[in-house]
Amino acid sequence: MTENNFSLKKIEISVSEAEKRSGRNAVNMQETYTAYLVETRSVEHIDGQSVLTDSLWRRYSEFELLRSYLLVYYPHVVVPPLPEKRAEFVWHKLSADNMDPDFVERRRIGLENFLLRVASHPILCRDKIFYLFLTQESNWKETVNETGFQLKADSRLKALNATFRVKNPDKRFTELKHYSDELQSVISHLLRVRARVADRLYGVYKVHGNYGRVFSEWSAIEKEMGDGLQSAGHHMDVYASSIDDILEDEEHYADQLKEYLFYAEALRAVCRKHELMQYDLEMAAQDLASKKQQCEELATGTVRTFSLKGMTTKLFGQETPEQKEARIKVLEEQINEGEQQLKSKNLEGREFVKNAWADIERFKEQKNRDLKEALISYAVMQISMCKKGIQVWTNAKECFSKM
């Protein structure tokens, strides 16, 4: 479903608020959930002013529904991922609770990011269901379900089967799948270790806070040393409390990494689709070849392969020429059909590969840009942390010098 509604206008999307709600769920049980306010603004060309055009509330499950839909209808697109459902890779101070305000806040940002990515995608932005997601609060779920996209979805079993049995997938996709597996593994590892690093760093900073108290107590029994100790102790307190903000900022970096961790899964989905289509094609070609062979055998009377018909013929006697004619006719029809199908499947396959690869190239550029920026902002965070550290210890040193 496409709609050219806003490919011409510039729009701004934001997920501006999050609210706790309670209501009854599908099995009529009371539940609490968070609703997010999705606001759309159109930007007038002339004066750059934005006008609020739509504003509605969505919950996480509706975002999930939207994404599932997009995955089915745009299998050749690397569909942007959603922020994580449950908090993972947390370091100890960070809450793993979904209702925790910090988690909700980071999720709000993640959901906004998701919508922005979809809106800036050349193909996805034109989708009608996406448009309705932003504009039609009521009955949107029904509308999506009415598209019947769930039925169109490939079964996991089919996909798995295809992955194992496909003979000639495009090499690029095989490499890409391998890459996305490795990427997923390395980013997971990175996020796990980073969480432990954050934990340890927290410990180091916080223990310094103890100096504050003991210096204060010590200064009470000292004459000339007292003031210097006391004020140095204060700086130790400052040092200890500075880690909270530092690590909060670092969570943003972790979120950027997580997005690409989940993007790896989206890449794999595209590869799987290719494998499925290729396998389908190979099966169709194989089927066609066997039908052609059967036809040939019937026509020439030679039996090269075992067939049930051949067996029964032997047992119960040859079939009549009419029966044979009839069968040949059926087969020829099937062969014709098969050849047409093969042709269109081939075409489809090539289209898919072309489009998918174009989107993958687009994705690669985006990934390189985004991750470079993420690394730069991480380095900037580290620099800021170092500068703060130098500041605090320089202040403490001055206090000590006055002892």
Partner 1 sequence: MSGGPPKALPSTGPHSLRDMPHPLAGSSSEEAVGGDSTPSPDLLMTRSFGDKDLILPNGGTPAGTSSPASSSSLLNRLQLDDDIDGETRDLFVTVDDPKKHVCTMETYITYRITTKSTRVEFDLPEYSVRRRYQDFDWLRNKLEESQPTHLIPPLPEKFVVKGVVDRFSEEFVETRRKALDKFLKRITDHPVLSFNEHFNVFLTAKDLNAYKKQGMALLTRVGESVKHVTGGYKLRSRPLEFAAIGEYLDTFALKLGTIDRIAQRIIKEEIEYLVELREYGPVYSTWSALEGELAEPLEGVSACIGNCSTALEELTDDMTEDFLPVLREYILYSDSMKSVLKKRDQVQAEYETKLEAVALRKEDRPKVPADVEKCQDRMECFNADLKADMERWQNNKRQDFRQLLMGMADKNIQYYEKCLTAWESIIPLLQEKQEAK
Binding-site member from 99, 186, 289, 311 for partner 1 (CB under 8 A): 186
Asked whether the beta carbons of 259 and 270 are under 8 A apart, the reply is no
Q: CA-based diameter of the chain, in Å?
A: 122
The tokens 């496909």 sit on which residue?
Answer: 166
Work out whether 52 is an interface residue with partner 1 (CB under 8 A).
no
Contact between 401 and partner 1 (CB under 8 A)? Answer: yes
Out of 95, 293, 318, 394, point to the residue binding partner 1 (CB under 8 A).
394
How far apart are the C-alpha atoms of 235 and 205, rounded to whole Å?
12
Please identify which residue in 225, 283, 328, 342 interacts with partner 1, judged by CB under 8 A.
225
Site residues for partner 1, window 124-183 (CB under 8 A)? Answer: 179, 182-183
In the complex, the smallest distance separating the C-beta of residue 73 from partner 1, rounded to whole angstroms, is 30
Can residue 92 be called a binding residue for partner 1 (CB under 8 A)?
no
Using the rule CB under 8 A, is 360 a contact of partner 1? no
Q: Could you tell me the smallest distance in angstroms from the CB atom of residue 392 to partner 1?
A: 9
Residue in 96, 90, 101 with CA at minimum distance from that of residue 18: 101
Q: Computed from CA positions of residues 380, 386, 389, 390, in that sequence, does the dihedral angle turn out positive or negative?
A: negative
CB burial of residue 179 (10 Å; 0-12, 13-18, 19+): middle
Question: Which is nearer to partner 1, 63 or 215 (by Cβ)?
Answer: 215
Q: How far is CA 141 from CA 22, 61, 132, 208, 401, in A?
A: 19, 10, 10, 53, 69
| 208 lies in the binding site for partner 1 (CB under 8 A) | yes
Interatomic CA distance for residues 369 and 110, integer angstroms: 18
Q: State the nearest-atom distance from the C-beta of 78 to partner 1, in Å.
A: 17
Residue 352 CA to residue 362 CA, distance in Å, equals 15
Q: Which of residues 227-256 bind partner 1 (CB under 8 A)?
A: 228, 232
**Does 214 contact partner 1 by CB under 8 A?**
yes
Pick one of 96, 289, 311, 379: the residue that binds partner 1 (CB under 8 A): 379
Nearer to partner 1, 3 or 181 (CB): 181
Residues in 257-316 that interact with partner 1 by CB under 8 A = none
Give yes or no for residue 210 binding partner 1 (CB under 8 A). Answer: yes
| Closer CB to partner 1, 40 or 216, in the complex | 216
The residue range among 128-136, 316-324, 329-337, 394-402 that interacts with partner 1, by the rule CB under 8 A, is 394-402
Site size toward partner 1, by CB under 8 A: 49
User: Is the Cβ–Cβ distance between 192 and 88 less than 8 Å?
Assistant: no
- Residue 319 DSSP label: P
Could you tell me if residue 229 is left (phi over 0), alpha (psi between -120 and 50 degrees) or otherwise beta?
alpha
